[in-house]
Amino acid sequence: MRDPMGEILFLAGTPAGADTLHRAVQRDAACGVFHAVRRAGGWTELAAWAAAPAAGRLAVVDPYHGGSFAAAEIRRLRERTPALEVIALADFTRRAAADAFTLALLGVRAIVCTSDPAAAAKVAAALRAHLNRGAFEEVVEALAGAVPPAVHRWLAPILLSGSGAESVAELARAVHRSPRTLRRTLHGAGLPSPEELLAWRRLLHAARLLDDGRSADSVARALDFSTGSALRKCLKRLTGLRPGELRRQGGFGALAALFLRRCREGTGRVHAAA
pLDDT band at 157 (very low <50, low <70, confident <90, very high): confident
pLDDT computed for residue 1 by the predictor: 37
Residues 112-135: what's their mean pLDDT? 82
Task: Domains for the chain: give ranges and CATH numbers.
Answer: 3-129 (3.40.50.2300), 145-273 (1.10.10.60)
Q: How far apart are CA 105 and CA 182, in angstroms?
A: 31
Region of poorest pLDDT, from 1-5, 108-112, 196-200, 208-212: 1-5
Q: Average pLDDT in the 31-46 region?
A: 84
Percent of the chain with pLDDT over 70: 89
Distance CA 47, CA 77 (A): 6
**How many Å from the N-terminal Cα to the C-terminal Cα in the chain?**
52
Q: Is the pLDDT of residue 54 over 80?
A: no
pLDDT value, residue 4: 45
The DSSP 8-state label assigned to residue 178 in this structure reads -
pLDDT band at 53 (very low <50, low <70, confident <90, very high): low
Higher pLDDT, 6 or 66: 66
Residue 212 phi/psi, 5° resolution? -85, 5
Average pLDDT of the residues in 100-129: 89
- Predicted pLDDT at 58: 85
Which pLDDT score is estimated for 82? 73
Sheet holding 110-113, edge to edge: 33-39, 3-11, 57-61, 85-90, 110-113
pLDDT tops 90 at residue 234:
yes
pLDDT at 134: 63
Share of the chain above pLDDT 90, in %: 39
- Per-residue pLDDT for 252 more than 80? yes
The number of beta carbons lying within 10 Å of the beta carbon of residue 251 is: 18
Average pLDDT over residues 131-136: 63
pLDDT(184) > 90? yes
DSSP per-residue string spanning 191-259: PPPHHHHHHHHHHHHHHHHHHTT--HHHHHHHTT-S-HHHHHHHHHHHHS--HHHHHHHTTHHHHHHHH
Q: State residue 16's pLDDT score.
A: 93
> What's the confidence (pLDDT) of residue 141?
83
Tell me what pLDDT residue 142 has: 86
The reply to whether the predicted model has a pTM over 0.85 is no
Q: What is the largest CA-CA distance in the chain?
A: 62
Mean pLDDT (the chain, rounded): 85
Better pLDDT: 102 or 6: 102
pLDDT digits (tens, 9 = 90+) for 257-266: 999 999 988 8
In this model, does residue 32 exceed pLDDT 70? no
Q: Report the pLDDT averaged over residues 182-194.
A: 92
Residue 57 clears pLDDT 80, i.e. is over it: no
